[in-house]
Chain A
Amino acid sequence: MAQLTCDHLRLGYEGRPVLEDLSFSVQAGDYLCIVGENGSGKTTLMRTILGLQKPLQGSIRFGDGLREGGIGYLPQQTNVQKDFPATVREVVLSGCQARLKNRPFYSRADKKRAEENMNKMGISAFAKRCFRELSGGQQQRVLLARALCATEKLLFLDEPVSGLDPNVTAEMYALIRSLNREGVTILMISHDLASAVREASHILAVGDSVFYGTKEEWLAEKGGERL
Chain B
Amino acid sequence: MLLSLRQELVIVIIIFLLLFIKVSAGEVRTKTLLALVNVLLAVNLVLGFFPAADSVLFNGMFHTNAMIVLEKNILNLGTLIVSLMAYDWLKDHPQAPEFYMLLLATLTGFFFMISSGHMLLFYLGLELSTIPLTALSSFDLEKRHSSEAGMKFIISSAFSSALLLFGISLLYGATGTLGFDSLARHLDGSAFQLFAFILILSGFAFKISVVPFHLWTADVYEGSPVTVTAYLSVISKGAVFFIFVQTLYTAFRPMADSWYRIVVVLSVLTMLTGNLFALRQNKFKRLLAFSSVAQSGFILAGITGSSRSGDASVIYFILIYVFSNLGAFGVVSLVSAATGKEDIDDYKGFHKTNPLLAWVMAISLFSLAGIPPTAGFFGKFFLLMAGAGKGNYVFIVIAALNMVISLYYYLRVIKVIFMETQPQPLPKLKIHLMPNIAFIVCLTGILVTGLVGWVYDYIYSLSIGG
A and B pair up: no
